Amino acid sequence: MKTKGALIREFNQPWTIEEIEIGDPQKGEVKVQMEASGMCHSDHHLVTGGIPMLGFPVLGGHEGAGVVIEVGEGVEGVAVGDHVVMSFIPSCGKCPSCQAGLRNLCDLGAGLLGGVAIADGTHRIHTTDGKPVFPMTLLGTFSPYMVVHESSVVKIDPSIPFEVACLVGCGVTTGYGSATHTAQIKPGEDVAIVGVGGVGMAALQGAVVSGARKIFVIDPVEWKRDQALKFGATHVYEDIFAAMAGIAEETQGFMAKKVIVTVGELNGADIENYMIITSKSGTCVLTAIGSMTDTNVTLNLAMLTLMQKNLQGTIFGGGNPYYDIPQLLSMYKMGKLNLDDMITRQYRLEQINDGYKDMLEGRNIRGVIRYTDEDR
């Protein structure tokens, strides 16, 4: 079928809305009519080359929610009419990683940047002149329609608004899980969160729910710091150096037991600063992602050993999409998780460049693209 999508054809150029051709669902695949897509910073990494796909053009978007309109042969987990969220990491439940309980590290994820379908290794999306399109994490939610493998869709409660549901496909689940699963914050612990966009604000809520004592937020944007206080932060700082002094004073020099780094782009030169605000035997969780070509890291190895600190990476917040996505939406429905106030602005697909400009200039916690009948 013909539809449209937001593509990039080379690095450091704006998104362009172009006509594309999406194939029919094959065995194990579903076709979804998209209703909403989150605008995650990771898609901006496609633009800068920080996350390089294996070819161009690239169809962006990996946070999405919509309705199943067609299923391929052998699909059993969802049916036509089901409301679903796209999990940016597929989760088959059968591979060694999934069997070991690491559903966020499913072996199918090895092909996320390759652009070819899990079902048969071919391209499901093409330009109007027949060239293959590489969808972000095998999804491509910056289009009103998509065909994806059933291991990438999670059935949800149909009463959940689509603009809310799409956020748990990546940002909310990643941030919240960074606090609860990966950092494993315990009641009474002091926590620092560096960067409060969508992922960071979700991590902040995870720290609150986990019973953190003092929650220190570091962000250069004053408006975001003000929002963080509304979401449960106890102290806010405009930069890491102000935080070093402030956290030392508030903790009598012990620093934060858990540190979660959710900045827009991770730089190796900053790692030691994050470790300085981490306490003895504490854990610093790197949720943010840097460039795949950046291998230089500033880290005091002696202090890492002598202070018995932990430096831990995480993807998807260490969670299980088939459990965590419905669970977080259930918490939202019960008023235990504030997702409504994380949505700062909604955009049309044609406004995608405006949305990313707002994100980069610090005006959004999370922007969301909403699709309408005019997009069909």
- Terminal C-alpha separation, the chain: 11
User: What's the pLDDT at 292?
Assistant: 85
Dist CA 141 CA 135 (whole Å): 8
Report residue 257's pLDDT band, with 50, 70 and 90 as the boundaries: very high
Percent of the chain at pLDDT exceeding 90: 94
Per-residue pLDDT tens digits for 161-206: 999 999 999 999 999 999 999 999 999 999 999 999 999 999 999 9
Side-chain-side CA neighbours of 369 within 13 Å: the count stands at 30
Kindly report the CATH class assigned to 2-169+339-375.
Answer: alpha beta
Domain ranges of the chain: 2-169+339-375, 175-315
Dist CA 235 CA 72 (whole Å): 51
Dist CA 17 CA 347 (whole Å): 14
Residue 375 in this model has a pLDDT that exceeds 90: no
Amino acid (1-letter code) at residue 134? F
User: What's the pLDDT at 235?
Assistant: 98
Please name the CATH architecture into which domain 175-315 falls.
3-Layer(aba) Sandwich (3.40)
Dist CA 267 CA 263 (whole Å): 9
Mean pLDDT of the 323-342 span: 97
Mean pLDDT of the 90-95 span: 94
User: What's the pLDDT at 348?
Assistant: 96
If 0-12 CB within 10 Å is exposed, 13-18 middle and 19+ buried, where does residue 171 land? Answer: buried
Inter-residue long-range contacts of 226-229, CB under 8 Å, 24+ positions, other chains counted = 227/196, 227/201, 227/341, 227/365, 228/193, 228/196, 228/201, 228/204
User: Residue for token digits 């049916």?
Assistant: 79
Matching fold, domains 2-169+339-375 and 175-315: no
> Token pair of 322, please?
């088939």
Mean pLDDT of the chain: 96
User: What's the pLDDT at 374?
Assistant: 86
